[in-house]
A and B are shown apart, each in its own frame.
Chain A
Amino acid sequence: MKGEAMRNDDREITLGEYLAARGVSRRAFLKFACSLASLMALPPSAGVAMAEALAKAKRPSVLWFPFQECTGCTESITRSHEPTIESMIFDMISLDYQETLMAAAGHQSEAAREQAMKDNYGKYLLLIDGSVATGLEGAYSCIGGQTNLSWLTEAAKGAAAIIAIGSCASYGGIPKANPNPTGARAVSDIVKDKPIVNIPGCPPIPAVLTGVLAHFLTFGSLPELDPLGRPKAFYGETIHDRCYRRPFYDQGRFAKTFDDEGARNGWCLYELGCKGPVTYNACATIKWNAGTSFPIQSGHGCLGCSEPDFWDKGSFYRPLSVAHWGDKATLGGAAAVGVALGAAAALAARRRQDKIVKGD
């Protein structure tokens, strides 16, 4: 955590003034804003307007609580050795509590959390990663002798909005996997009276958090959400719809194994269990590791990690047509574009899986 970023007087100045005092030129900020606009699926021309609005915005107080989680979400968002667009979130906000990152520990950190909640009551953003244990009244996961459940309930009262980071906070995630021994629940299962943005993924794409925060600062509101509470700008289309291998699906060219000619030629991975047709996320365009690649580009099908219950839906390597994913309407829609070829592929995959199951 940047110690300077925690000072209250810093919060009184605008983001533009804050950055200018640190030697960031308006041209550099324009570049940042244009890149943000790109992330948020806004037209390139919106970058100039965003730069103007962001420069005038005040930096909000943010409290970030980690619950039942593996810290993968925190790693995803913070793990960079050089300044990146993702790391700019630490300039856009005043991160007043994040126990993994902050220098304070024990009673000092708890005092910082309580003070920040008191000073910014009704205005702070609450970020949660990890699911909420509800079994035994929440006793499965505690911090400082208090349950995650009680923390969430208390902190939600004073929050302007809540952002659930990762599939665990969004849906319950791996801790909720059958038989769910801790009674893990999503944030939205507990809090019913506050606006909640879900940013699922295991881990989520870090730039999505930056985009949501930038939207909040630029427009003073949360971005438009889909029925699962995900920002449409990032989760509005399936991996399949945005996949560079999609033309191969439409042409009926599929890899049958991970080392056949189709795999070497980069053909569609549908028959190898890719969940791209029913998975809504931005991996195919934003990609990972500074835009280097994403699972499908690296030769492996999408696991569907931004969809509810992906962990309990059977093998990652069974084609959608024989797995427990999606419904007939969704799969039908996915196949509709490459109608005959896609349907034939689904049928072939189903037959091949039947043979495997029967041991033929």
Chain B
Amino acid sequence: MSDLRDTAYATAILHEVADLLAKLAADGSAGAIDLRAMPLGPADRARLKEVLAQGAVKVSVDAGGPSEIFETVYPGVWWTCHRNDAGETISEFIEVTDCPQFLKSQPDDIRAGASGLRRLLE
């Protein structure tokens, strides 16, 4: 267990996650926490990783650089980390939702794919 005096921000975030998850369970409304907007120290990060450990789902996406998304041991709580092509983290979120928006196929991409496939078959 980390020194609680060094993990004040992590504790606050975990309480916020719990509130968001209760709301998702109650009425289905999603929420998210921007981790890069928080002044997290190394101990805070370790504490968050310790509590929000990886659950059953882990996804890698290659779009504008790699992104790693996993559902935590708490269903509905997802950890999303976006990186650029150099592997540098450009944004990181804890999303509380049934499925992160980023994982869904985007309408413009679907339309472009449909046209491309049709052209290929003609």
**Looking at the complex, which one of A25, A30, A246 makes contact with B39 (CB distance below 8 Å)?**
A246
Check A81–B86 contact: CB distance below 8 A: yes
How distant is the Cα of A331 from the Cα of B33 in the complex, in angstroms? Answer: 31
Q: Are A45 and B32 in contact (CB under 8 A)?
A: yes
Specify which chain A residues have a CB less than 8 angstroms from the CB of B67 in the assembled complex: 31
Pick the residue among A35, A55, A284 that contacts B82 (CB under 8 A). Answer: A35
- Give residues 65-122 of B contacting A (CB, 8 Å): 65, 67, 82, 84-86, 88-91, 93, 95, 101-102, 105-109, 112
Tell me whether A84 and B84 are in contact (CB under 8 A): yes
Question: Which of A41, A83, A247, A286 meets B85, CB within 8 Å?
Answer: A83
Asked whether any CB of chain A lies closer than 8 Å to the CB of B28, the reply is no
For the complex, give the distance between the alpha carbons of A80 and B34 in Å: 24
Question: B residues within 8 A CB of A316?
Answer: none
| A26-B106 contact in complex given A38-B36, A84-B84, A244-B40, C-beta closer than 8 Å | yes
- Determine the chain A residues whose CB is within 8 A of the CB of B6 once the complex forms: 247
Please state if A84 and B88 are interface contacts (CB–CB under 8 Å): yes
What would 18 more interface pairs be, CB under 8 Å, given A44-B32, A83-B84? A20-B112, A26-B106, A26-B107, A30-B101, A30-B106, A31-B64, A31-B82, A34-B102, A38-B36, A41-B37, A43-B32, A44-B34, A83-B85, A84-B88, A245-B41, A251-B5, A284-B39, A290-B86
* A280 part of interface (Cβ distance < 8 Å): no
> Which of A29, A38, A244 lies in contact with B34, CB distance below 8 A?
A38
Q: Is A32 an interface residue (CB 8 A)?
A: yes
Complex contacts, B106 vs chain A, CB 8 Å: 25-27, 30
Q: Are A85 and B102 in contact (CB under 8 A)?
A: no
Which residues of the other chain, B, contact A247 by a CB distance below 8 angstroms? 5-6, 8
- Smallest beta-carbon distance B79→chain A, Å: 13
Task: Name the A residues within 8 Å of B102 (CB-CB).
Answer: 27, 30-31, 34
Q: Does A285 contact B (CB under 8 A)?
A: yes
> Is B38 interfacial (CB 8 A cutoff)?
yes
- In this complex, how many residues of chain B approach chain A with their Cβ under 8 Å: the count is 38
A85 touches B38 (CB 8 A): no
Q: Which residues of B contact A81 (CB under 8 A)?
A: 86
Nearest Cβ on chain A to B37's Cβ, whole angstroms: 6
Interface size on A, residues (CB 8 A): 39
Q: In residues 169-207 of chain A, which contact B (Cβ within 8 Å)?
A: none
Tell me, yes or no, whether B53 is within 8 Å of chain A by CB.
no
CB-CB contacts of B33-63 with A at 8 A, as 1s and 0s?
Answer: 1101111110010000000000000000101
Chain A's nearest CB lies how many Å from the CB of B85? 5
- Contact (Cβ within 8 A) B90 A83: no
Does A101 reach chain B (CB closer than 8 Å)? no
Q: From residue B42, how far is it (CB to closest CB) to chain A in Å? A: 8
Chain A residues near B107 (CB, 8 Å)?
A: 26
Sorted from nearest, which 10 A-B pairs have the closest CB atoms? A28-B64, A82-B86, A290-B88, A244-B41, A44-B32, A35-B91, A28-B63, A26-B108, A26-B106, A27-B63
- Min CB distance A342 to B, Å, is 16
| Contact, CB under 8 Å: B93 / A44 | yes
Question: With an 8 A cutoff between CB atoms, is A326 at the interface?
Answer: no
Docked-complex contact A286 and B36, CB < 8 angstroms? yes
> Measured between alpha carbons, how far is A31 from B6 in the docked complex, in Å?
31
User: For the complex, what is the distance from the CA of A28 to the CA of B112, rounded to whole Å?
Assistant: 14
A76 to B86, CA, bound (A): 17
